[in-house]
C-alpha cells in the first residue's frame, strides 16, 4: 500500500489566458488530495471516493470504459472522478511498463471538485505518484507533472494547460507559459478563499472563451491583456523578499492587478453573480484585491488580506458557503505514511462492471 498527497492551488493571475500561451502564476495552497493505492493480482481498478461528494461512491471495473455505475451521486461527478483516475492509471502503467496492473484506489480530498482550486490536478498528480511508487518505479516531480498534464489533456479534450498539474507536483508559486514551467520565489501571501458551494463546467467555460476569442478581436486582446497583468505581477514578485512578511505596498500592487484580472475575466463571460458578490464583499471589507480563481462559472474567489476582515465579511455574505485562510504550500507531491490509511473495507454500493 502506498499513499501520496498533492496540494491544490489558487491563481494569483492568468487563468484562461494560459490556455493560449500567455503566462500564469498559480500558487499551491495547504489543502491536499490524498490517494491510497494498493496493487491487485488482477487487472481491475477499484475506486473509492470518500470526500468528493456528500456520500462518496465506490466503483470497480476492468480496463477503461465509458459506462458509469448507478450510484447516488451526479453523473458528472462520477465521470470527472473516474475519468481523471483512468487517465492517471494509464500514465502510471505506461511509466512502469505494466499495462495489466490493477489497483485498489482510495481518494480523499480537502479540495472541492470544480471549484477552481485544482482538485483534479491534485488527484491526478497524487494518483500517478502513488501508483508508480506502488509498482516500484518512483518518478521525479517534473515527470509526474508532465504525465499529469497528459492525463488532464486527454480528459479535457486538449484544452488543459500545464499550470495546475505543474504547480501541484512541485509546490510553491510557479510561472507557466506554454511549455516553460518553473518555480518562482514568492512570499507567503495572505490568501483568503471564499467558496459559493458550486462548480463551473471547465470544458464549457474554456470553449466559451475560445469562441469569443475567435469571433471578436477585442476578446483576443483581452486575453493578451491578462498576460500583460501576469508579467507585471511577476516583476513585482521578483523584487520581493520571499522570506519576509509581505509589505503593505507589495500587497496593494498585487491586489490592484488581481482586481484588473477579475474585470477582464468577467468581460470574457467566465464569472458569475455569486463570484462577483463574493469579490465585492472582500473588496468592501478592505482586501487589497480579489478575483475568481480557476475556470469560473461558480466555485471560489481568492483575496489578499492579512486581517480577519475579509473572512468575516465572506462569512456573512449569502452566496458564500465556506471561507478559509490558505497558506502557501511550498511542498508539492509527497509520499505519506501508509500507516495512517484507514483500511476500511469495500463500500456496500460497489459494483462490478
**Helix (H) or strand (E) segment spanning residue 169:** helix 163-170
Q: What's the CA gap between 330 and 68, in Å, rounded?
A: 37
Is residue 185 among the annotated active site residues? no
| 8 within 8 A of 29, measured Cβ to Cβ | yes
DSSP 328: B
Helix (H, G, I), strand (E, B) or coil at 215: helix
Beta strands, E only, 159-263: 173-177, 180-184, 191-195
Q: What's the CA gap between 249 and 187, in Å, rounded?
A: 13
Among the listed residues 186, 191, 297, the one whose alpha carbon sits nearest the alpha carbon of residue 233: 186
CB atoms under 10 Å from CB of 345, counted, come to 8
Residues in the chain, total:
353
Q: What's the CA gap between 249 and 299, in Å, rounded?
A: 29
With a CB cutoff of 8 Å and minimum separation 6, the contacts of 270 are 16, 200, 205, 208, 209, 292, 295, 296, 297
Phi, psi at 336, each rounded to 5°: -105, 170
Q: Which is the catalytic residue, given 38, 104, 164, 329?
A: 164
Q: What's the CA gap between 169 and 8, in Å, rounded?
A: 10
Among the listed residues 155, 189, 151, 192, the one whose alpha carbon sits nearest the alpha carbon of residue 168: 151
As annotated, the active-site residues are 164
Amino acid at each position: 500500500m502506498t499513499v501520496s498527497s498533492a496540494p491544490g492551488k489558487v491563481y494569483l493571475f492568468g487563468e484562461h489566458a494560459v490556455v493560449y500561451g500567455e503566462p500564469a502564476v498559480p500558487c499551491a495552497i495547504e489543502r491536499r488530495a490524498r490517494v491510497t493505492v494498493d496493487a491487485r493480482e488482477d487487472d481491475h481498478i477499484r475506486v473509492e471516493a470518500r470526500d468528493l461528494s456528500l456520500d462518496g461512491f465506490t466503483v470497480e471495473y476492468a480496463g477503461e470504459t465509458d459506462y458509469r455505475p448507478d450510484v447516488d451521486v451526479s453523473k458528472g461527478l462520477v465521470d470527472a472522478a473516474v475519468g481523471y483516475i483512468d487517465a492517471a492509471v494509464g500514465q502510471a502503467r505506461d511509466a512502469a511498463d505494466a499495462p495489466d496492473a490493477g489497483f485498489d484506489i482510495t481518494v480523499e480530498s480537502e479540495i472541492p471538485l470544480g471549484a477552481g482550486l485544482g482538485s483534479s490536478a491534485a488527484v491526478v498528480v497524487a494518483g500517478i505518484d502513488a501508483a508508480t511508487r506502488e509498482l516500484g518505479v518512483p518518478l521525479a516531480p517534473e515527470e509526474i507533472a508532465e504525465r499529469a498534464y497528459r492525463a488532464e489533456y486527454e480528459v479535457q479534450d486538449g484544452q488543459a494547460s500545464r499550470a495546475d498539474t505543474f504547480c501541484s507536483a512541485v509546490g510553491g508559486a510557479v510561472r507557466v507559459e506554454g511549455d516553460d514551467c518553473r518555480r518562482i520565489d514568492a512570499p507567503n501571501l495572505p490568501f483568503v478563499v471564499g467558496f459559493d458551494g458550486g462548480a463551473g463546467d471547465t470544458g464549457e467555460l474554456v470553449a466559451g472563451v475560445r469562441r469569443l476569442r475567435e469571433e471578436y478581436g477585442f476578446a483576443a486582446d483581452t486575453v493578451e491583456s491578462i498576460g500583460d497583468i501576469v508579467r507585471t505581477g511577476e516583476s513585482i514578485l521578483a523584487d520581493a523578499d520571499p522570506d519576509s512578511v509581505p509589505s503593505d505596498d507589495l500587497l496593494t500592487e498585487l491586489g490592484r492587478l488581481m482586481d484588473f484580472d477579475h474585470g477582464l475575466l468577467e468581460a470574457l463571460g467566465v464569472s458569475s453573480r455569486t463570484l462577483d458578490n463574493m469579490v465585492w464583499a472582500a473588496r468592501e471589507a478592505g482586501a487589497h484585491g480579489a478575483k475568481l480563481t480557476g475556470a469560473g462559472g461558480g466555485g471560489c474567489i481568492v483575496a489578499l488580506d492579512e486581517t480577519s476582515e475579509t473572512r468575516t465579511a465572506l462569512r456573512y455574505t449569502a452566496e458564500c458557503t465556506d471561507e478559509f485562510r490558505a497558506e502557501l504550500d511550498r511542498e508539492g507531491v509527497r509520499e505519506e505514511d501508509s500507516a495512517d490509511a484507514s483500511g476500511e473495507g469495500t463500500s456496500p454500493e460497489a459494483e462490478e462492471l
